[in-house]
């Protein structure tokens, strides 16, 4: 299972990449706006730290998405073009697939959308589990349904669990066999922690103090 950081903060990517467990980064226009830094420079800095960086198009028509996506893909070989799950997005995905440009379909909220994006040749699809939970639906239930559908076929499209809010989302994604989870920085920091690990280490060090010469 691959772990991505969901951020536009280069320093956060540098910090987590140093753990040796980071496989990629997903950005989106909201995350870029939050950091307030130049988009291309941010994406290129991240490409030096991880092998896979999703950069989202902002055009809403297929020709516009294609122009933007081709430009992004030319910036660096680690860039994955992120395309919204719309009919225009499907047309763009089909084009990018033919051109060998990697894609991530964002804003996926149903099995039907997942299926169409996979058939259009998306490299990854991003179902948004937290936003479904926020809307009173079962986000991880959607991942279970998508993974069940995937088990019947030979789709090359990876299922990227997005809009994660807490470590349980990541654990459940792994249990369901999802290929990737993208994780906010604050949630990533919680993953290595367990109170029994802290208490156990404290006791080991206290006991060692008693016997060391």
| Active site residue ranges | 82
Nearer to ligand G3P, 130 or 167 (CB): 130
Residue 42 found at the interface with ligand G3P (CB under 6 A): no
Residue 50 found at the interface with ligand G3P (CB under 6 A): no
* Residues numbered 164-193 forming contacts with ligand G3P, rule: CB under 6 A: 182
* Residues numbered 3-22 forming contacts with ligand G3P, rule: CB under 6 A: 6
Helix (H, G, I), strand (E, B) or coil at 177: coil
The CA distance from 1 to 21, in Å, is 10
Residue 128 found at the interface with ligand G3P (CB under 6 A): yes
122: region left, alpha or beta (phi > 0 left; psi from -120 to 50 alpha): beta
Closest CA to 49 of 14, 12, 19: 14
Count residues contacting ligand G3P (CB under 6 A)?
9
Are residues 3 and 174 in contact, defined by beta-carbon separation less than 8 angstroms?
no
Residue 64 found at the interface with ligand G3P (CB under 6 A): no
Q: Which of 28, 68, 103, 157 binds ligand G3P (CB under 6 A)?
A: 28
Are residues 160 and 180 in contact, defined by beta-carbon separation less than 8 angstroms?
yes
Which of the ranges 63-71, 124-132, 135-143, 192-200 carries the binding residues for ligand G3P, by CB under 6 A? 124-132
The least CB distance from residue 96 to ligand G3P, in Å, is 18
The least CB distance from residue 156 to ligand G3P, in Å, is 21
Q: Which of 35, 119, 130, 191 binds ligand G3P (CB under 6 A)?
A: 130
Q: Is the dihedral of CA 116, 122, 123, 127 positive or negative?
A: negative
Are residues 12 and 5 in contact, defined by beta-carbon separation less than 8 angstroms?
yes
106: which DSSP letter? Answer: E
162: which DSSP letter? Answer: B
Q: Which residues here bind ligand G3P, judged by CB under 6 A? A: 6, 26, 28, 128, 130-131, 162-163, 182
């Amino acid at each position: 299972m691959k772990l991505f950081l969901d951020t536009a903060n280069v320093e956060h990517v540098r910090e987590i990449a140093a753990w040796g467990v980071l496989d990629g980064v997903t950005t989106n226009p909201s995350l870029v706006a939050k950091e307030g830094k130049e988009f291309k420079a941010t994406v290129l800095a991240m490409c030096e730290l991880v092998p896979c960086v999703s950069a989202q198009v902002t055009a809403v028509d297929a020709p516009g998405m294609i122009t933007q996506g081709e430009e992004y893909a030319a910036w660096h070989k680690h860039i994955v073009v992120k395309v919204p799950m719309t009919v225009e997005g499907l047309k763009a995905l089909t084009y990018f697939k033919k051109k060998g440009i990697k894609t991530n379909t964002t804003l996926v909220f149903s099995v039907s959308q997942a299926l169409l994006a996979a058939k259009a040749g998306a490299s990854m699809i991003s179902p948004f589990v937290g936003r479904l939970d926020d809307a009173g639906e079962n986000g991880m239930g959607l991942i279970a349904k998508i993974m069940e559908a995937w088990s019947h076929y030979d789709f090359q499209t990876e299922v990227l669990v997005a809009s994660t809010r807490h470590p349980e989302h990541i654990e459940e994604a792994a249990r369901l066999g999802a290929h990737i989870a993208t994780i906010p920085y604050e949630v990533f920091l919680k993953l290595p922690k367990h109170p029994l690990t802290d208490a156990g280490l404290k006791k080991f060090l206290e006991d060692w103090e008693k016997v060391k010469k």
